[in-house]
Amino acid sequence: MRRLRLAVQVCAVVLGVAVAASAQAPPDVVAAARREGRVVVYGSLEADAFDVIRKIYEQRYGVPVEYWRAASTRVLDRALAEHRSGRGLFDVVLTNAGPMRILKAQGVFQKYVSPTYEDFPPATRDRDGILSPSYRMVVISVLYNTRLVRPEEAPRTYADLLDPKWRGKMVMPDPTLHTTTATWLVNLRRVLGAQWRPFVERLGQQVGLVESFLPVVQKLVAGEYALGITYVKYVKQFSEAPLDYVRLNPVLADAHLVGLARNAPHPNAGKLLIDTLTSRAGLHALAQTGEFVLVPGIYPPIKDADKLRVVLMEDLDEQEFRKARDELGPLFRRR
């Protein structure tokens, strides 16, 4: 496995660094953005969450935002195809750290350091000044159906997940089909140390498998399974459903980044969009939709979100994914 080259990114993200209010955008950039007429964004952020950013942006600058939403690998495929053929239609890309680093390595982005980046923890900033800091995280934990599991019976630690009473009652995405789950399992090694291998082996015997995080929460809500490994934010998004989550310590999270296209057709409008998204006001609005953001004192409306110790995961490269798939496959698919 690759050395821990991104030790800084792996470190616990301190949620208490001041992020100042966004600086006022220079008037010439705003005027140029208005002349450009619109901004085109490709991303994997949920449409409802992106809508709050769109509203702030359009109110501030009067420039319409066009948002193409797709899963992160599709964002990667389309942005790369357009970039390589010189037919880029997009100004801004926002998605998980893994695809964003591939796009950066392929020269899809130009340098842009928003004034708002000053206020993020230095550990999360891009040394090359191309990608944004991790402005948003998707936090992974264990959710449970409160009609099937009373809070006092719920597991409290990673080890509790191996209790025989959960056998066949727990569901998670197939790590050989779902890359974030594979990344999560590999990153657990740093949390569990020597206990990692036995943990993963026994977890494989406990769980039912589905395709991704969304079917996990759907099966929990429907009562088909009692526990499931999935995103914590679903507790907010399915707020009327009988759902709660286990306060694991630490919880692992996938970082999301944003970048400005090298051949952006509307570069100034794109810069203003990145400024808005990573501004305090933008992140505050995003948090209200249930997202975990890197603003001190601002948390999503999810109980105990402020008490979680969040650790950003280290993303895997192609070889590491293949190795993880080969290693984890027999443990999880031996039926």
Partner 1 sequence: MQLGGAVSRTLAWPRAWGRADATVWIGGGVGVLLAFLTLYPTAMLFYGSLSDAPVGTLGRFTLAHYRAAYTDPATYRLMANSFVFAAGAAGLSVLLGLALAWITVRTNAPGRALFELVALAPNVLPPLLVATSWTLVLSPRIGILNLTLLRWLGLPPLNVYSLGGMVFVEGLVLTPLAFLIIAAALRAMDPSLEEAARLAGSGHLDAARRITVPLVVPAVLAAGTLNFVRAIESFDVPAVIALPAGIEVFSTKIFREALAAFPPNHNLAATYAVSQLVIAVALVLVYRRITGLSERYATITGRGYRPNVVDLGRWRYVASGAALLILGVLVVVPFLVLVYVSLLPFYEVPSWEVLGRLTGRHYAFLLQSDRAARALRVSLALALGGATLAMLLASLVAYFAVRRRGRLTGALEALSFVPWAFPGTALAIGLLWAYVQLPLPIYGTVWILLISYVTRFLPYGLRPMTATMVQVHRELEESSRVCGAGFLRTFQRVLLPLLKPGFLAGWAILFTIYVREFSTSVFLYTPRAEPVGPLLYHLWQDAQPGRMAALGVVVSLICVVVVGLARRWVGEGKTLR
Instruction: Please enumerate in sequence order all residues whose Cβ is within 8 A of that of 283, keeping only pairs 6 or more positions apart, or say none.
Output: 19, 135, 136, 277, 293, 294, 295, 298
Residues 17-46 within binding reach of partner 1 (CB under 8 A): 40-41, 46
C-beta separation of 8 from 255 below 8 A: no
- Mind spelling out the 3-state secondary structure of 242-298? CEEECCCCCEEEEEEEEEEECCCCCHHHHHHHHHHHHCHHHHHHHHHCCCEECCCCC
Q: Which residues pair with 312 in a beta bridge?
A: 253
Site stretch for partner 1 (CB under 8 A), options 25-33, 155-163, 174-182, 273-281: 174-182
Q: Spell out the residues 6+ positions from residue 23 whose beta carbon is closer than 8 angstroms to its own.
A: 115, 116
Question: For partner 1, which stretch binds (CB under 8 A), given 79-87, 153-161, 187-195, 244-252?
Answer: 79-87
Q: Does 70 bind partner 1 (CB under 8 A)?
A: yes
160 binding partner 1? (CB under 8 A)? no
- Using rule CB under 8 A, residue 181 touches partner 1: no
Candidates 7, 14, 23, 222: give the one binding partner 1 (CB under 8 A).
Answer: 222
224 binds partner 1 per the rule CB under 8 A: yes
Could you say whether residue 326 binds partner 1 (CB under 8 A)? no
Under rule CB under 8 A, residue 196 binds partner 1: no
- Between strands 136-145 and 251-261, the pairing is antiparallel
- The stretch among 1-9, 70-78, 293-301, 305-313 that binds partner 1 (CB under 8 A) is 70-78
* Residue 73 interacts with partner 1 (CB under 8 A): yes or no: yes
Q: Which CB sits closer to partner 1, 77 or 118?
A: 77
Residues 6+ apart with CB under 8 A from 278: 22, 114, 116, 117, 120, 132, 133, 135, 258
> What are φ and ψ of residue 233, in 5° steps?
-60, -20
84-123: contacts with partner 1 (CB under 8 A): 84-85, 87, 89, 98-99, 102
- Residue 206 CB, shortest distance to partner 1, in Å, is 14
Spatial separation of the C-alpha atoms in residues 83 and 79, rounded to whole Å: 6
State the residues that interact with partner 1 by CB under 8 A.
Answer: 40-41, 46-48, 66-71, 73-74, 76-78, 80-82, 84-85, 87, 89, 98-99, 102, 171, 174, 176-179, 208-211, 214-215, 217-218, 221-224, 234, 237-238, 240-241, 316, 318, 321-322, 325, 333, 335
